[in-house]
Amino acid sequence: MQLTHEENQFERKTFPITLVCDHIYFQQNIGSLFRISEAFGVENIIFLGKDIPLTPRKINKTSRSTHLHVPHTIIEETATLVDYLLENNFEIIALEIASNSKPLKEIVIPDNRKIALLIGSEIDGISDELLKISNQIVHINMFGKNSSMNVVQAASIALYEITSF
């Protein structure tokens, strides 16, 4: 028998993970990122870019009201974000297919250090400025002809892997 939301016995837990969204603008993706972040106990979401469409009416359909429960901020400039991540000693993990990326399964999660999981825009991925400051660049092995997947699905897989350590 299927359990209701109130009957499930999952442990409530928050992880020291900040999800950093590099110029993600599609409202369905933004709403879904709130929902998956809430499900995986993400501490905070940072949206990088100008005019991020965080209109509750538009994202509520996919967020299922989780945008009310996950702390989030907007940082407009990449340089400001870089300073913030470096000054606060984050382990910066970029989820991107790159010449120096390694499979997600090989990710190293350091003890007692906050994690910034960087995910890239629907069009351009993660900027070179952010890749340059990343401690680790990881990719999801894929076996079809397509070399990319939706940012929400990719973030979900990465968060599952990171939170299962």
The angle subtended at Cα 60 by Cα 158 and Cα 10, nearest 5°, is 50
Kindly tell me the sign of the dihedral angle through the C-alpha atoms of 121, 69, 4, 28: negative
Residue bearing tokens 């590099």: 22
pLDDT in the model for residue 20: 98
What is 14-79 written as a DSSP string? -EEEEEEEES---HHHHHHHHHHHHHTTEEEEEEESSS----HHHHHHHHTTGGGTS-EEEE--HH
The more confident residue out of 62 and 114 is 114
pLDDT band at 5 (very low <50, low <70, confident <90, very high): low
pLDDT of residue 131: 98
Q: Domains (ranges, CATH) in the chain?
A: 19-163 (3.40.1280.10)
| Model confidence, pTM | 0.93
